[in-house]
Structure 1
Amino acid sequence: MKAVAVLYPGGPAAAETPELLGCAENALGLRDWLEGQGHELVATSDAGAGLDSHLPTVDVLIATPFWPAYISRERIENAPNLKLLLTAGVGSDHFDLAAAAERGITVAEITGSNVVSVAEHVVMQILTLVRNYMPAYREVLDGGWDIGKVAAPSHDLEDKRVGIVGFGRIGQRVATRLKGFDVQLRYFDYRRLPHTEETVLGARFQGLRALVAESDLVSINIPLTPATQGMFDRDLLYSMKKGAYLVNTARGRIVDTDALVEVMEAGHLAGYAGDVWYPQPAPADHPWRNMPNHAMTPHVSGTTLEAQRRYANGIRECLTSFIAGEPIDRDYIIVDGGRVASPSYSPAYQ
């Protein structure tokens, strides 16, 4: 078996931090194990010709979400031996799922591996925006001490209405972590939770447009599907409360790139944060890099060392099953038997 792992470059940190499992240099900690069983493992951060040169002979392709490679229909067609696509993490929309299904290729991701990490990142970015942290930090770097300038747009989070769009594993953990701030929680999802679960989480269901219009802060936690691509378009963004905040740790294409820049430059929203872009890696001239009042990070919310250990272990579990000819854990499966099997990638958000 030949496995190719397309992972981000770790650089000097790879040697200094062996726990940095998700990088090409450390190869998810799989090399000794796989090669000890007589299998070949190629780990690369080359998303171009380097990756393409291995496609004709690869059996298993492993990739972290979006960076460094998109696995397109063309690439799948150029990999005649490909049987398994694995996401080292959560979110498999960097694979062409329809092309994989047509070829009977199994697609799996490590469900739940990053949910804690992303939820904590969401809360961090919410506080960063509401408390006007970035300008305060820059004030220190610039040698200033203008308290009034920093404090003027700074708020308490308590009593604010927070709307969570997408109330799955991450959305619910965001709600749990925000309960301690005494916020008013609302959520939108394609299915409503039972009343008892809503009570435990302290959140009430609300339709999308009403939630967006009435929330002081909106957190996006839905998967990217054809139905959710561009969901936050110019119309929906302008329907948000003036002075509201938007946090997106889901997928960049859920928010219209140019419309967001317009809304931010017009001062309609008080701030935008997140760590997902389109495309990824974001080019140096990506318009979101220079928007006013943003607190963006590169796509790192689900890449804590703990999350990397979880998804590395999950990849090894999937490979163990695959090599033994046994079924992969159903919780991990996205595409199986020629069809998209995961409800996360259903058109339910239409």
Structure 2
Amino acid sequence: MKILCVLYDDPVSGYPKTYARDDLPELPGYPGGQTLPTPSSVDFTPGHLLGSVSGELGLRSFLESQGHELVVTSDKDRDGSEFDRRLADADVVISQPFWPAYLTAERFARAPRLKLALTAGIGSDHVDLDAAIAHGVTVAEVTYCNSISVAEHVVMSILNLVRNFVPSHQIVLDGGWNIADAVARSYDVEGMHVGTVAAGRIGLAVLKRLAPFDMHLHYTDRHRLPLEVEEELGLTFHASAADMVPHCDVVTINAPLHPETEGLFDDELIATMKRGAYLVNTARARIADRDAVVRALQSGRLAGYAGDVWFPQPAPSDHPWRTMPNHGMTPHISGSSLSAQARYAAGTREILESFFAGTPIRDEYLIVDGGKLAGTGAHSYAVRG
């Protein structure tokens, strides 16, 4: 089989020869009891850079020993890209949310041999799920592999915005000591009301990590959490985002992108938020209206916006989120720490081993299978029909 793998470019200084740390902590499993990826073995060193072109997700030795062809590229967006040229006879496409190879209906039509679209990470909205269903292509992702990584990034982003960290750090870099300038936009999170749009693996992990900060915790989700969880964390449930956001000083978006969430945070919804609220989005960029966010920051309706998801990805140099005021944007890095890469590379191999052997892929990894939404996909996504 031909496996077409789309990964982000190596560091500008070249693929690392050494790393800042010698090892990774050993985890017993994921919160809630799901086991870590269980491939037969791995051909990489945990803690090494696996998500870039030279890292190859640690797959080359395994795939070539099985007689498969592996093509790895970062070239995916331009006309005549290597991705497009290689797609016609690809059996498997592997992509990451951080450098997505957008599998559109048109691309599915040009890939008659495609059988598996595999996300090395979580979030398969770069795959047209309706087209995958129509073409009988299985869609899978390494569920939970970087959920905690993203949750940590959310908490960091909230603290960065509320405490005005980035501008304060810039003062140091510029050789200054402008305390009044630094603290004129700096607050404590203690006592603030924070709400998450969706309280799945990431959203719930965010709430758990914010609880020790003595914040008031809110959430909305299609699936209400058990009463004991609400009582343990002191959560207030809201039936919808529209019901929740007027109560919050901080809102964090942790929902998948689907027809119900696309464009959710538009001018109308943002206008109902408290003046000076903060919005953090590490989910998907299109859940927020790009220009509505810019307008809200310029007017002061929002005191800050942070996250690491853009559309398209990579974002063009003139994307307005690069230059809008009071933002804390990063490239899409929240789920691609070296710790997370070890898990999603192992999970990718586990899925491939099942696929090649014709044995069932773990239900929690499945998004589309057998011509319909399946597993995690049936819980998290909707199709346009």
**TM-score range, shorter-chain basis?**
over 0.9
Deviates further, 304-313 or 137-146: 137-146
State the partner residue of 1:340: 373
CA–CA distance in structure 2, aligned partners of residues 198 and 137 of structure 1: 37
Write out per-residue CA displacement over residues 287-311 of structure 1, whole angstroms, 9 at most, x where no aligned residue. Answer: 1111110010010000011111100
Amino acid at match of 2:2: K
Deviation at 1:347, TM superposition (A): 6.8
CA–CA distance in structure 2, aligned partners of residues 65 and 243 of structure 1: 30
Residues 347 and 157 from structure 1, CA distance in 2 versus in 1: closer, same or farther, beyond 3 angstroms?
farther
- 1:190 partnered with 2:191: no
Q: Please tell me whether the aligned partners of residues 130 and 383 of structure 2 are also in contact (alpha carbons under 8 angstroms).
A: no
Deviation at 1:66, TM superposition (A): 5.5
- 1:224 partnered with 2:257: yes
Deviates further, 330-339 or 58-67: 58-67
State the partner residue of 2:350: 317
Give unmatched runs, 5+ long, in structure 2. Answer: 20-44
Poorly superposed stretches of 4+, deviation over 6 Å: none
SS class of match (2:94): strand
State the partner residue of 1:288: 321
Give the number of equivalent residue pairs. 348
CA–CA distance in structure 2, aligned partners of residues 74 and 92 of structure 1: 17
State the partner residue of 2:8: 8
Where do 1:1-350 residues align within 5 Å? 1-11=1-11, 12-16=13-17, 19-47=48-76, 48=78, 49-65=81-97, 67-207=99-239, 208-341=241-374, 342=377, 343-346=379-382
Which structure carries more helix by proportion? 1
Identical counterparts, % of pairs: 55
CA–CA distance in structure 2, aligned partners of residues 346 and 201 of structure 1: 29
SS class of match (1:43): strand
Deviates further, 120-129 or 133-142: 133-142
SS class of match (1:57): coil
Write out per-residue CA displacement over residues 185-239 of structure 1, whole angstroms, 9 at most, x where no aligned residue. Answer: 0001112112112122332202322310110100000000011100000011111
Deviation at 1:59, TM superposition (A): 0.7
CA–CA distance in structure 1, aligned partners of residues 358 and 16 of structure 2: 34
CA–CA distance in structure 1, aligned partners of residues 16 and 275 of structure 2: 47
Give unmatched runs, 5+ long, in structure 1. Answer: none
Deviates further, 318-327 or 142-151: 142-151
SS class of match (1:162): strand
Q: Please tell me whether the aligned partners of residues 227 and 347 of structure 1 are also in contact (alpha carbons under 8 angstroms).
A: no
Deviation at 1:114, TM superposition (A): 0.6
Q: Please tell me whether the aligned partners of residues 56 and 79 of structure 1 are also in contact (alpha carbons under 8 angstroms).
A: yes
Deviates further, 208-217 or 169-178: 208-217
Q: Please tell me whether the aligned partners of residues 104 and 338 of structure 1 are also in contact (alpha carbons under 8 angstroms).
A: yes
Deviation at 1:74, TM superposition (A): 1.1
Write out per-residue CA displacement over residues 105-156 of structure 1, whole angstroms, 9 at most, x where no aligned residue. Answer: 1000000011110000000000000101111011112222121121122111
Residues 136 and 15 from structure 1, CA distance in 2 versus in 1: closer, same or farther, beyond 3 angstroms?
closer
CA–CA distance in structure 1, aligned partners of residues 317 and 342 of structure 2: 30
